[in-house]
Amino acid sequence: MTCCLGMDTSNYTTSCALYDGERLVQQKRLLSVEEGEVGLRQSEAVFDHTRQLPELTEACFSAFGKTGLAAVGASVRPRDAEGSYMPCFLVGACAARAVAASAGVPFYAFSHQVGHIGAALYSTGRLDLVHKPFICFHFSGGTTECLFVSPGGEQVFEVKRIAGSLDLKAGQAVDRVGRMLGLRFPAGEALSALAGQSDTEFRASPAVKGGDVSLSGVENKCSAMLRQGVPAEEVARCCLEYICAAADYMTQYAMREYGELPVVYAGGVMSSDYIRERLGKKYGGFFAAPEFSGDNAAGLAVLAALRGGVL
């Protein structure tokens, strides 16, 4: 039996995964972020990835057991857009190319974004959607986009941006508000748990332009609430309500433009139990499991299997 290897070295997590069409094993580790900080400089991310990736790759192969390789895939850029580039992705891309060359198997280059989409489809049991059009939300620290996804191309998917945030990204909003509340980076899980302790109703209305939204107001609003002595759980809930309202607006816009297609939710922000409950009640849709929502290499291993004919 042969399998496919996926590698992802994002600005938040080092990860690798092995997939043989039935069984998937992944290893991942957050990058080291000092307390009180909300991210890393690229030089720091590259150093951490270089240190962590060999250890995680060894652990992944050890957990999977003896196997051969059929293909290797890695994220080489954040998105499929002109000028999309971050140095941290070079670590995984270089390592993956070297492994593929030594094993004599194909190397497939993907974007980090399509890796998120692949992971979401795998974890929801909807890999059949690779052959159909659907709407996908990618909400993370660096991206807040609503996408029209259709089959085809070297990336397995053709991805077209429908709408997104014009300024602050959803993950940035979560982490900045989390820092205000004394939560450690990444703050998503703790902020979501805190928001669940409040039953205050908020009428969140992000500024909009066409299908796009602005999230910069949520940071200012939450800061003002804290200065006024509003309890932390209400501040957390207000922040997540803004993100839900943004996704709600973009969903309605996308469905007017493209019809009522299946909706898939990917990215670390979408692992929030609070957001999943709010949006799930209204639109249903398919949410990536929490372990496949944040940055991970599982989707890249799955995409490599699709490209390499393993699936």
Query: pLDDT truncated to tens, each residue of the chain (311 aa)?
Result: 799 999 999 988 999 999 999 999 999 999 988 877 777 889 999 999 999 999 999 999 999 998 899 999 999 999 988 888 999 999 999 999 999 999 999 999 999 999 999 999 999 999 999 999 999 999 998 899 999 999 988 889 999 999 999 999 999 999 999 999 999 989 999 999 999 999 998 888 899 999 999 999 999 999 999 999 999 999 999 999 999 999 999 999 999 999 999 999 999 999 999 999 988 888 889 999 999 999 999 999 999 999 987 77
The pLDDT value recorded for residue 212 is: 97
The pLDDT value recorded for residue 310 is: 76
The structure tokens listed for 86 are 């971050």
Which CATH number, 3.40.50.300, 3.40.605.10, 3.40.50.970, 3.30.420.40, labels domain 164-287? 3.30.420.40
The pLDDT value recorded for residue 152 is: 87
What b-and-e string marks burial along 163-199, b requiring 16 or more CB atoms within 10 Å of the CB?
bbbbebbbbbbbbbbbbbbebebbbbbbbbebbbebe
The pLDDT value recorded for residue 232 is: 97
The structure tokens listed for 299 are 């989707």
Measure the CA–CA gap between 228 and 219, rounded to whole angstroms. 14
> In the chain, at which residue ranges do the beta strands (DSSP E only) sit?
2-9, 13-19, 24-30, 68-77, 107-111, 134-139, 144-151, 157-164, 207-209, 212-214, 263-266, 286-287
Bridge partners for 212 per DSSP:
209
Bridge partners for 151 per DSSP:
157
The pLDDT value recorded for residue 1 is: 73
Measure the CA–CA gap between 41 and 54, rounded to whole angstroms. 21
The pLDDT value recorded for residue 203 is: 85
H-helix or E-strand spanning residue 180: helix 170-180
Residue 132 near residue 1, CB atoms below 8 Å: no
Which pTM does this prediction carry?
0.94
Closest to 139 measured CA to CA, from 287, 304, 260, 297: 287
CATH number of 2-124+292-307: 3.30.420.40
The pLDDT value recorded for residue 34 is: 80
Bond preceding residue 87 cis, omega within 30 of 0 = no
Contacting residues for 228 by C-beta, under 8 A, at least 6 apart: none
What residue spans define the domains of the chain?
Answer: 2-124+292-307, 164-287
3-state secondary structure (DSSP) of residue 236: helix
The pLDDT value recorded for residue 154 is: 83
Residue 111 near residue 79, CB atoms below 8 Å: yes
- Residue 23: count other Cβ atoms within 10 Å of its Cβ: 12
> In whole angstroms, how large is the CA radius of gyration of the chain?
19
Measure the CA–CA gap between 266 and 283, rounded to whole angstroms. 15
Measure the CA–CA gap between 269 and 187, rounded to whole angstroms. 10
Closest to 251 measured CA to CA, from 167, 135, 168, 166: 135
The structure tokens listed for 222 are 């939450």
Q: Do domains 2-124+292-307 and 164-287 have the same CATH topology?
A: yes
Closest to 267 measured CA to CA, from 135, 133, 136: 136
Closest to 109 measured CA to CA, from 69, 149, 61, 77: 77
> In 179-232, at which residue ranges do the beta strands (DSSP E only) sit?
207-209, 212-214
